[in-house]
Amino acid sequence: MQTDDVHAITNPALQATGRFDTQNGEKYVAQLCKHFAHKIETHVEGGTGTAALGTGPCTMQASPDTLRITVQAATLDGLSQAKRIIDSHLARFAFREGFEAMDWA
């Protein structure tokens, strides 16, 4: 492994934040954390949650009308994978709202 690779793994520098306008954000934070907890470390308290995705850390924050999720990764591929993980799970949990994908920035 090259030195740059080691630095990238120990210091994830890439991140994306997704937004979903919903009044059910706190419910989705709880659902995501409960679901992910079967395989990875998670923490949820009220409308805030964290998950240790294999690609890097994920933080979730619900407000009364918005769900924001930030994912971090060491590589662009990892970042894309993390966004796909979140989008695919939310598509199952938020299907009643017609969810397709977070608005990622």
**Residue among 74, 73, 50, 54 at smallest CA distance from 62:** 50
CATH number at residue 41: 3.30.310.50
Q: Give me the pLDDT at residue 40, please.
A: 96
**pLDDT above 50 for 22:** yes
Average pLDDT, the chain: 91
Q: Give me the pLDDT at residue 74, please.
A: 94
Per-residue pLDDT band at 85 (split at 50, 70, 90): very high
∠ at Cα 39 (12, 58), nearest 5°?
A: 30
Q: Give me the pLDDT at residue 67, please.
A: 98
Q: Give me the number of domains the chain comprises.
A: 1
**pLDDT above 90 for 6:** no
**How many angstroms from the chain centroid is the CA of residue 85?**
7
Q: Give me the pLDDT at residue 13, please.
A: 79
Q: What is the DSSP letter of 64?
A: S
User: Where in the sequence is the domain holding 67, given as residue range(s)?
Assistant: 3-104
